[in-house]
Structure 1
């Protein structure tokens, strides 16, 4: 029993399988007289339809409600991904629409997927000329299949979208076998919009995180003049695969010498033994109890960015829960926050321009502290050019190296114990840029706080995880006369709570797991006279029967509530699901012209 309990305590990522119980039926028809006519065969059951999977997000674009019709639509491809594991990505040639008139100034990527059959969750990426524009998970699919769709604002990549005869690639490693027979069909299109008639789309991004959810921190008020990928060669996808802490992704890039501003956009996702890294126990606990556990290295991960060996950015990634993780029934049909459009993270690197404007190539490096197999990381450089100058001058101001503080408290006896990790990091960077517009100094201050607590109780059969990430970033631009030109502030808070209880079943190879999950995303962005906020809260409770390390049955109920407030108004959406059925999905919208009603509505939520 102890062996079963030890394993079940760590069985947090499960591939969903099905079981068809056989029922013994007595032969009642043998008791009837021989002259009795045989019973007619039962009518065939109607085929069950595929189920729709949804992610609860505000609509795109949220700055103009209701959403207008697109100016034109560019269909990119329809493609079926079957046995594509270890195969090169699908690659086509992209060219823009030449007859999209009047000229567009806003673009939205439309993704539609469908699986006819059973399939596990898969990770996928889309690149345009090597620049990643989307990272996504597919949903878990049962025997009857599933379908889903979502949109993403890609206006920030406008300089690429206007180019002709460049590569468009999609990587989706799927496996089709006797157990998972689902072929994943994907359709991709771009919807182009034209501002006008009082519409103001803008180019929004959720702080340093999600692009699609509606909060904007002004990082991409205008699309960059040039977007350069920091990516791999592309034969196995353009992302770098990092399998342990000692491995890094590295690329040398030459920056145009008339660059006046630079923003790095980081894409990252975690898989395998680090798919739920925030629940991993420390190695001391594993070794002391002689456990055969591959999810190791504790519950602290940081993704970092270096230029020529100098640390310029770091991130504790948002805990995306894939559609097969912890309890797969929790994400049917409502998937986890950010599961379909994974977040990217932005870093204002303008203070470091003086290191890059020498006409030479420079190394950009990514790594993950305490990483285990495996992480997928790449990035994009968004460059704003001074078209009136051949060369821009830049210098470093007063900069303060990142201050790093981490505290670990481990206390355990046999299989029970507690493990706490607290981390705080602050940094300041400053640099001036002299262009045709004048001399301006950019100051960036960032504070990151991380806390994770894991408890094992009841001989290791009960596990509780509590985690919270808080981040605050302030970007100030001042003139050479000391006048404030712009000020942008972003604040984010991401609490996570997970409870797992494993109880042995009636047979030695069967156990019952109960789960409770709560994930929150709270972000606020403000600058100038505008303020935008988003609160997205998801809760789920359920149970599973596990046999021979596979889930054979289970159920869960999930509730989610989203509240958004921005310059143009507000949006709210509430959804509930139970036993795989969507019971509630309601939303409401208010315009900025009705701010009073807007405040009343939000206070009532």
Structure 2
């Protein structure tokens, strides 16, 4: 496998024409090099608008350099624009960085409510630039009030890690002449630490991620949006092993608590809904050479997950305080669901639509089905093995849950339902004392929620499919300070979805909301050389230090407003190059990912 990947990378590098150039933009540079172009590191994504020139107004809300910023967030203030009519709000983020550093997690809060979670691209010595736009119209009630801005980007900056991150976020306001129905209130499920000038994210499993909230009595719909991402020992949770296999190679290479993760929302002690998270790969993940100049899926905008809690309104609208808790659990052979490593960064928001014609919402008792997920494990290894042995394991899971209740508001009586069907398969093969690994995982899900009286549906179902396959083979030098070690890696993964997101659906005024259909695939391979004399174990993050990589991505998207397609190819060597970039004003054919061992 290693020789095949090496040959594939070298062949693609040789196929690049002699006249190819790096896709770059010129930005402000350090004073000693005023003309060096910056490498544009892109996330392939459908543009939000055909043109950004028609904004009614705009304002810069964040402009800050995150250098030695560990534990020191940016603190600012937000005021809604004056004398500016708008319905749609888009935040435009641009980032520059020079030097050497790891990828960093960033969180943007208005008060105690998280608006945006992202990770950075990894910088190179000559500098990088990237930008991303995010539609934040669903936070309309916040965007029209005075708010404290808290942006966390914990970064280490010293003589070794020389890359700071210069971040600018500009708010663009557009008058699309729509009659929107945004949430009347947004309540945080967070640590509520803004008064201390700190991010309000919980860190699990260490924190008690419980918030007491009192909802208005006249709520018509309520939806919880959850953001959760694994970091540290949980960054690659999907390649962890069950606890019985953790010591298989008699070393500390393997992390435990299984490769399965479930994010739970618990209301008054009862399970309301779950998320089986998307396997995010940060720009240093698997091999850094895979992600220059194309970053991984959802890198600049980590996905949230929505849970419709409207069936609970008969209970939640009683005027009393209610407990909202977030948990992250893994598979445990003894207890079915158990704890995880640290640290999962989580927070959530409750979006509330009021019944303006009524005084109190009433509801029947909730009809719930929440059986524990069903797991199957093979094999169940409980003994040590020799250095030449393989550790092969397969874990499958299935879960179904449903909540329904009859809700009475001033507009009448409706039966509201929230339902989830989830399936998961993870297959792993470890060799060479755990240094070489092959992983194949596939997560599928369907969630169903009830439509509103203003729409033309009874129920709406959203589906997704997230396959990922990767290999990672390490040849570690006996003296890593004197000679290079080698990492040979490949990845093939996709994200496919057919969705009408709940919160945008309830916010938009269109009578018939067309589903968003996404299909994207990334395929890449990389040879990566590193030694421990380079900035203290940071590895060869800079291409000049020794990387041969190639990545290709197909992207196809369609919604009620537009169709879009893009096909890109890149190589990462001594000079990262975008060798192909095709854009289409229509959807394109996306080949299926090769899962190899799964399906």
Coarse TM-score class (shorter-chain normalised): 0.7 to 0.9
Contact 1:273 1:294 (C-alpha < 8 Å) held by counterparts: no
1:583 is aligned to 2:559: no
Alpha carbons of structure 1 residues 478 and 568: separation in structure 2 relative to 1, 3 Å: closer
1:239 is aligned to 2:201: yes
Measured against aligned partners, the alpha-carbon deviations of 1:13-38 in whole angstroms (never above 9, x if no partner) come to xxxxxxxxxxxxxxxxxxxxxxxxxx
SS of match in other structure, 2:122: coil
- How far apart are the structure 2 equivalents of 1:522 and 1:116? 34
Residue 167 (structure 1) aligned to one of 127, 148, 151? 148
1:513 is aligned to 2:481: no
Residue 517 (structure 2) aligned to one of 513, 533, 538? 533
Alpha carbons of structure 1 residues 574 and 222: separation in structure 2 relative to 1, 3 Å: farther
1:106 is aligned to 2:88: yes
Measured against aligned partners, the alpha-carbon deviations of 1:215-255 in whole angstroms (never above 9, x if no partner) come to xxxxxx842111111111234411001145xx531111111
Instruction: Determine which structure has more spread, i.e. the larger CA radius of gyration.
Output: 1
Contact 1:477 1:486 (C-alpha < 8 Å) held by counterparts: yes
1:51 is aligned to 2:39: yes
**Other-structure match for 1:380:** 349
Residue 561 (structure 2) aligned to one of 559, 568, 579? 568
**Other-structure match for 2:11:** none
Contact 1:442 1:478 (C-alpha < 8 Å) held by counterparts: no
Contact 2:519 2:557 (C-alpha < 8 Å) held by counterparts: yes
Contact 1:158 1:223 (C-alpha < 8 Å) held by counterparts: yes
Residue 444 (structure 1) aligned to one of 402, 418, 423? 418
**Other-structure match for 2:460:** 488
**Other-structure match for 2:370:** 401
- How far apart are the structure 2 equivalents of 1:75 and 1:545? 41
**Other-structure match for 1:360:** 320
- How far apart are the structure 2 equivalents of 1:534 and 1:469? 16
- How far apart are the structure 2 equivalents of 1:460 and 1:228? 45
Provide the alpha-carbon RMSD of the alignment.
Answer: 2.6
Deviation of residue 146 (structure 1)? 1.3
Alpha carbons of structure 1 residues 159 and 484: separation in structure 2 relative to 1, 3 Å: closer
- How far apart are the structure 1 equivalents of 2:40 and 2:310? 43
Measured against aligned partners, the alpha-carbon deviations of 1:466-504 in whole angstroms (never above 9, x if no partner) come to 00100001123588xxx9853211010000001112235
Contact 1:440 1:477 (C-alpha < 8 Å) held by counterparts: no
Alpha carbons of structure 1 residues 547 and 602: separation in structure 2 relative to 1, 3 Å: closer
Contact 1:441 1:477 (C-alpha < 8 Å) held by counterparts: no
The runs of at least 4 aligned residues of structure 1 exceeding 6 Å deviation read 44-47
1:324 is aligned to 2:309: no
Deviation of residue 131 (structure 1)? 1.1
SS of match in other structure, 2:261: coil
Deviation of residue 120 (structure 1)? 1.7
Alpha carbons of structure 1 residues 603 and 86: separation in structure 2 relative to 1, 3 Å: closer
Residue 56 (structure 2) aligned to one of 71, 80, 104? 71
Contact 1:565 1:571 (C-alpha < 8 Å) held by counterparts: yes
**Other-structure match for 1:304:** 264
Alpha carbons of structure 1 residues 550 and 136: separation in structure 2 relative to 1, 3 Å: closer
**Other-structure match for 2:529:** 545
- How far apart are the structure 2 equivalents of 1:73 and 1:47? 29
**Other-structure match for 1:93:** 77
1:262 is aligned to 2:247: no
TM-score (norm 1): 0.81
Tell me whether 544-553 or 492-501 shows the greater mean CA deviation. 544-553
Residue 285 (structure 1) aligned to one of 221, 225, 245? 245
**Other-structure match for 2:186:** 227
**Other-structure match for 1:593:** none
SS of match in other structure, 1:248: coil
Contact 2:240 2:254 (C-alpha < 8 Å) held by counterparts: no
**Other-structure match for 1:274:** 234
Contact 2:246 2:254 (C-alpha < 8 Å) held by counterparts: no
Contact 2:41 2:121 (C-alpha < 8 Å) held by counterparts: yes
Deviation of residue 183 (structure 1)? 2.1
SS of match in other structure, 1:351: helix
- How far apart are the structure 1 equivalents of 2:269 and 2:282? 33
Contact 2:112 2:199 (C-alpha < 8 Å) held by counterparts: no
Structure 1: tracts of 5 or more residues without a match: 1-43, 203-220, 591-597
Deviation of residue 449 (structure 1)? 0.6
**Other-structure match for 1:556:** 549
- How far apart are the structure 2 equivalents of 1:440 and 1:588? 43
Structure 2: tracts of 5 or more residues without a match: 1-31, 330-338, 506-511, 541-545, 593-599
Alpha carbons of structure 1 residues 400 and 604: separation in structure 2 relative to 1, 3 Å: closer
Number of matched residues?
519
Tell me whether 401-410 or 515-524 shows the greater mean CA deviation. 401-410
Alpha carbons of structure 1 residues 492 and 361: separation in structure 2 relative to 1, 3 Å: same
- How far apart are the structure 2 equivalents of 1:238 and 1:303? 18
**Other-structure match for 1:422:** 396
- How far apart are the structure 1 equivalents of 2:140 and 2:515? 25
SS of match in other structure, 2:272: strand
TM-score (norm 2): 0.81
